[in-house]
Amino acid sequence: MYKELVTFKNLPLSNGLLSTPNTKANGYDLKVGFDPKTCLVALYDNVSPEEMFNEDYVYDSSQSTTMIEHFKQAALSIQNKFECSRPLEIGSNSGIFIEHFSKDISLAVEPCDNFAKITADENIRTYNEYWGDEVTDKIIESYGKRDMIFSANTISHIQNLDECFSNVYKCLSDDGVFIIESPSFLELLKGNAFDQFYHEHQSYFGCLSLNNLLKKHNLSIFNIELYPVHGGTYRFFITKDNHYPISQNVEGALKEEIKYGLNNYEILKIRMGMMLDNIKEINRTLVDLKQEGANIIGYGASAKFTQVTNMSEIDNNIIDFVMDTTPDKQNKYLPKSNIKILPYNKELLKNVDYCFLGAWNYKKEIMDKEIEFLEAGGKFITHIPTIQIYDISNR
């Protein structure tokens, strides 16, 4: 039973883009709760997976050079550390991780039709299904158990974690390794990153909560690594039946999370209040700049950008448009705010005073790319951990 931490009222799905402006998007309450038994922070009474992850799902990891390089290095590192003769990726998206393994031995599970087609077209055996009992049985029957199962930013989207982990245990060989990448809830709190709360992101894992969830399925974390992507991402290395010894990194992570209050409902409730204050400050800052005559656009139509604009009640009267490189997003409109998404074009930066950085987790990559905009006097606005303005002098 979850205890409520915060509820955001009537928010549309962050990836539910509109083909025409002023179309009424369905809104759903976003309820964030704390489970005292496991210390997991997660959404409850959430939208069904079928509404969120389908052929219209638009997040494409291959549109970021940062993520392309990150997953290339992840694949190489994992192959150096572990036997990967039978790899499987759960939630393969456009395939920028699994493509670094031999296609003869690799399997992918991807429920979104558009992305499953990409990996299938690359001759990677792809199951266009949700991870669950049915697909697990098919994989074992056809190809046997897997010695490496990888999943990045997908397990946190799954609502039935007991079924998920039960099937991982069943599908994993005795000496296999299960590797999860997920935004760190500890880093989310440190960064005040409230825009990472959105309907598609069901669970917010820490080492403490994830270990508690895994225990009942005879799985456990034996190592943990922290990476800067997505504002701070954990790579959890998970063993079956304690096959691998536990690293000191795990003990250190657990101590830090407890010290920061990730097992304490009252402390977490206070931190949610700090996030709400930040949301109000974003609205005040952008409205004031607009009233002073500033031209403001968005940079990166990420799920985070959709969330921060809608949570802060910022619409197309404040932000003229948002640029994005993802073809499936272009010439559509953000739900509720009705901000139009235009194809990325440097020319659009002319006569712009401020770019509101929706994709704040790629801040360095973007500012390096747009040095001419900064040198011409342009400024970037970010909101993590609090609202900040960057020009050429402080980038």
Q: What is the 3-state secondary structure (H, E, C) of 204-243?
A: ECCHHHHHHHHHCCCEEEEEEEEECHHHCEEEEEEEECCC
* Single-letter code of the amino acid located at 177: V
Cis amide bond preceding 327, omega within 30: no
What domains are defined for the chain? 3-29+267-390 (3.40.50.720), 40-262 (3.40.50.150)
Does pTM top 0.85 for this prediction?
A: yes
Report the pLDDT value the prediction gives residue 58, as an integer from 0 to 100.
Answer: 58
Tokens describing residue 325: 């490189």
Please count the helices (runs of H) and the strands (runs of E) in the chain.
12, 17
Longest dimension (CA), the chain: 65
pLDDT at 59: 63
pLDDT tens for the 395 residues of the chain, in order:
899 999 999 999 888 889 898 767 789 999 999 999 999 999 999 998 888 876 666 566 676 788 899 999 999 999 999 999 999 999 999 899 999 999 999 999 999 888 899 998 889 999 999 999 999 999 999 999 999 999 999 999 999 999 999 999 999 999 999 999 999 999 999 988 888 898 999 999 999 999 999 999 999 999 999 998 888 899 999 999 999 999 999 999 999 999 999 999 999 999 999 999 999 999 999 999 999 999 999 999 988 899 999 999 999 999 999 999 888 899 999 999 999 999 999 999 999 999 999 777 778 888 999 999 999 999 999 998 889 999 998 87
pLDDT score, position 186: 96
C-alpha distances (whole Å) from 62 to each of 69, 261, 311 are 10, 35, 27
Length of the chain: 395
Our CA dihedral for 172, 215, 185, 238, rounded to 10 degrees, sits at: -30
pLDDT for 74 = 95
Q: Which of 153, 100, 154, 152 is nearest to 132 (CA)?
A: 154
